[in-house]
Structure 1
Amino acid sequence: MTPGPTTAALTTTTGPGWRATLANAVGFQFGWFGVIGLVAAGEAGWALALLAAVLAAHLAVVPAPRAEARLLLACSGLGLAWETVFNALGLVAYPHGQWAAWLPPLWLVGMWTLFAATLNHSLAWLHGRPWLQAVLGAIAGPMSYAGGVALGAADWQQRTPALVVLALAWALLLPLTMALADRGRRAAVNR
């Protein structure tokens, strides 16, 4: 029997790769808190530099950096599209780093890239579990934004509607990003 996505994820988190999985999770948290802290302090440029450093380190250690880079770019494009729509709704404001009123800040698009770096690594255990992806997305997506607001990187304009929209969107966005990761993994195996 060939190991499925769940078996592969378990091997990564309990076998010899558990250190890499942990390092990926720690790297994501370091990047997330670092970027949010820098943006809240009005240092969006330094936040972008931190994102670049964390992502460069990530790509330097993954086994298939080209495939991973394609996933990161695809998720960044998806993030830019979603955040542009969300920005147009006027539910959240970004006091720092917004380069055009109708576009999301670059650091926010960079956070999508950072998030994408977890899909095949510290979030690999979610592969093959679309309902769990949807539930987790509906909870964790809004929590991430709420954390950014609480730490000063953004401001609610309409808190409750924003949280509802984010929950509904992330119930779709997490499964969609995982599907992009699955597609990339399958393409890498078939080469």
Structure 2
Amino acid sequence: MLLGVPLLLAIHLRWVAGWHAEGRLLVSVLLSGAALDSTLLQMGVLDFAGDSLLLPLWLATLWLLFGTTLNHCLAWSARPWWRASLLGACGGPLSYYAGAQLAGVGMPLGLWPSLLILAGCWAVLLPLLHGFASLQRQRLASQ
């Protein structure tokens, strides 16, 4: 899977108008997601196998791929802001739960406390990421 990600990103950036602005959005999403997951790791909400203080590469690539959806298939969730917040609060924890089952990510605080923390984080994060996407679209329109 990791080998296919650069190809998918290259195809995505080739097809979108304003690949430079879209690239900045992808980097913003990657940095925001890495900051969130690193914080959750340090707080003991998530446990990636081993004594790693860094996110696994596969998780970083998921953030990049998630960034490609904000201006496209997830654009409907941007307005009103509460729609993104509701989607984040529901979808975010479910994705982490599925990922935990597939990749052996631990939730040391227990399932429900971890999911509730993730719901709160994602209720804030998804509207924020849509804000980044909106800035990217404004920059593209002004060029």
What TM-score comes out, normalization by structure 2 length? 0.91
Q: What corresponds to 2:61 in structure 1?
A: 110
Of the three residues 89, 110, 114, the one matched with 1:162 is 114
- Check conservation: 1:138, 1:167, Cα contact below 8 A: yes
CA-to-aligned-CA distance 1:53-109 (integer Å, 9 cap, x gap): 2212211211221111110011111111111101101222223xx7x7222212212
Q: What corresponds to 1:189 in structure 2?
A: 141
Of the three residues 58, 61, 83, the one matched with 2:15 is 61
Q: What corresponds to 2:29 in structure 1?
A: 75
User: Cα distance, 1:48 vs. partner?
Assistant: 2.6
CA-to-aligned-CA distance 1:22-68 (integer Å, 9 cap, x gap): xxxxxxxxxxxxxxxxxxxxxxxxx4322222212211211221111
Aligned partner letter, 1:189: A
- Check conservation: 1:83, 1:103, Cα contact below 8 A: no
Distance in 2 (CA, whole Å) between partners of 1:111 and 1:84 is 14
Of the three residues 77, 87, 98, the one matched with 2:41 is 87
* CA spacing shift, 1:68–1:94, aligned 2, 3 Å: same
- Check conservation: 2:78, 2:127, Cα contact below 8 A: no
Distance in 1 (CA, whole Å) between partners of 2:102 and 2:120 is 23
Give structure 1 stretches of 5+ with no counterpart. Answer: 1-46
User: Cα distance, 1:153 vs. partner?
Assistant: 4.2
Distance in 2 (CA, whole Å) between partners of 1:183 and 1:167 is 25
Using the aligned pairs only, state the percent identity: 36
Give structure 2 stretches of 5+ with no counterpart. Answer: none
Q: For the aligned residues, what is the CA RMSD?
A: 1.6
Of the three residues 92, 96, 100, the one matched with 1:141 is 92
User: Cα distance, 1:176 vs. partner?
Assistant: 0.3
Distance in 2 (CA, whole Å) between partners of 1:53 and 1:138 is 30
Aligned partner letter, 2:33: G
Q: Does 1:120 align with 2:94?
A: no
Q: Which of 1 and 2 has greater Rg?
A: 1
* Count of residues in correspondence between the two structures: 142
Aligned partner letter, 1:94: F
